[in-house]
Structure 1
């Protein structure tokens, strides 16, 4: 468990899946999370959870505020040899969006990924239309590393995908300031 001022990160448990499923059934929440929304069954989510349990790397955390699950954050596309991974984050609960919880969760998560798990680089992709997320990532020290033009079809239009990355030394320097 990782504890911040307002946010607690803890491993997703089987008991969290029903709440997480309910939170992710809204198309608006998925769009804010840079996800291509598709209906998903609780059974499908449970199957993904079981697959994650089989892996050695346990890196799927629930984001909790005042004891309530409001989102999730995780590593994926992990390369343990090079110590590089992508990450994804979403605040699904509408009332928790825009409150700074995502930013705090990312900070806790990056400390864990860089200084406990010893990753060298963390990267992400975001839709070019998700300016709120891009501003948050830049404020946390992520730098733009690339752009895939008109890569995804979202809500009736093609959007660019922005690739951003952060190195451990950059995160350390960012936090000293």
Structure 2
């Protein structure tokens, strides 16, 4: 496996819509997420524009190209100590350290800047690379969500995973 080109992590911006649209249209990216196939560029622009200022949304960029994105979506009220994580990597850059860098940035922000105690996510039970990544960062399985979503003509299970800190 070759290394990813040098990339930077930065906050997303509305001008990233075209790059995110291209990445979100990739077959493996769609397979690993709940995003619909064939998103419209307008839907991606709206999704970017509707990001909450309380949330963190970052992209990995290499040579002017968006190659990954990740979000930390903070809870409100009595769930203010928690956040949900979502992320994905462009098909051409999977397995080359982009996901690790994105998740490290989210975990660092959650721990050292926001003092979040609980990070949670869902992941398909058959997504071995994602499971390995999340476990590397201390996420553990909390339960199986049976027939969680429809993918490739069948209902698939997901794991609810979380990482707790200081509780």
- Of residues 139, 151, 155, the one that matches 2:152 is 155
Does structure 2 conserve the Cα–Cα contact (< 8 Å) formed by 1:36 and 1:154?
A: no
Structure 2 unaligned residues grouped into runs of 5+: 1-5
1:17 matches 2:17: yes
How many Å apart are 1:18 and its aligned residue? 1.0
2:65 aligns with 68
How many Å apart are 1:35 and its aligned residue? 2.1
Distance 1:7 1:107, change over 3 A: farther
1:121 matches 2:118: yes
Q: Deviations over 1:149-171 (max 9, x none)?
A: 2222211222211000002349x
How many Å apart are 1:36 and its aligned residue? 4.3
Does structure 2 conserve the Cα–Cα contact (< 8 Å) formed by 1:147 and 1:161?
A: yes
Q: In 2, distance between residues paired with 1:46 and 1:16?
A: 8
1:71 counterpart SS class: strand
2:68 counterpart SS class: strand
Q: In 2, distance between residues paired with 1:117 and 1:50?
A: 23
How many Å apart are 1:66 and its aligned residue? 5.2
Does structure 2 conserve the Cα–Cα contact (< 8 Å) formed by 1:7 and 1:104?
A: no
Distance 1:103 1:12, change over 3 A: same
How many Å apart are 1:7 and its aligned residue? 4.6
RMSD: 2.0
Given the two structures, how large is their TM-score scaled by the length of structure 2?
0.85
How many Å apart are 1:120 and its aligned residue? 1.1
1:50 matches 2:31: no
How many Å apart are 1:21 and its aligned residue? 0.8
1:39 counterpart SS class: coil
Residue correspondences, number = 161
- Of residues 86, 89, 100, the one that matches 1:88 is 86
